[in-house]
Amino acid sequence: MTTVQATDTEIITKLIEDNLDLVNHIVFQVAIHFPRHVDRDDLARAGALGLVEAAKRFDESKGVPFQRFAAQRIRGSIIDAVRAADWAPRSVRSLSRKLEATEQRLASRLGRVPHIGEVADELGVSRDELHRLRDRLFRSVILAFDHLVTDSPDEELTLVDVIEDVHSVEPCHELEKRELHAYLRDAIALLPERQRLVIVGYFLQDRTSQDLARFLGVTESRVSQMRTEALEALKRGIEAQYGQDLGEAEAQISGRQVKRRAQFAEAIGERQHWKDRVGDAETLDSGRVLAELLAV
- Domains observed in the chain: 9-85 (1.10.1740.10), 90-162 (1.10.10.10), 171-295 (1.20.140)
Instruction: State the average pLDDT over residues 274-294.
Output: 62
| Contact yes or no for 147/158 (Cβ under 8 A) | yes
pLDDT tens track for 204-213? 888 899 999 9
> Which band of pLDDT confidence, cut at 50, 70 and 90, is reported for residue 194?
very high
Q: How many CB atoms lie within 10 A of CB 95?
A: 18
Strand pairing partners for 158? 148
Q: What is the mean pLDDT of residues 105-125?
A: 85
Question: Mean pLDDT across the chain, nearest whole number?
Answer: 78
Question: What's the rounded mean pLDDT across residues 181-200?
Answer: 90
Distance between CA atoms of residues 284 and 74, nearest Å: 64
Q: pLDDT: is 260 or 286 the higher one? A: 260
Mean pLDDT of 116-126: 86
**For residues 175-198, average pLDDT:** 88
First to last CA, the chain: 94
Radius of gyration of the chain (CA): 35
Banded model confidence at residue 260, pLDDT cuts 50, 70, 90:
confident
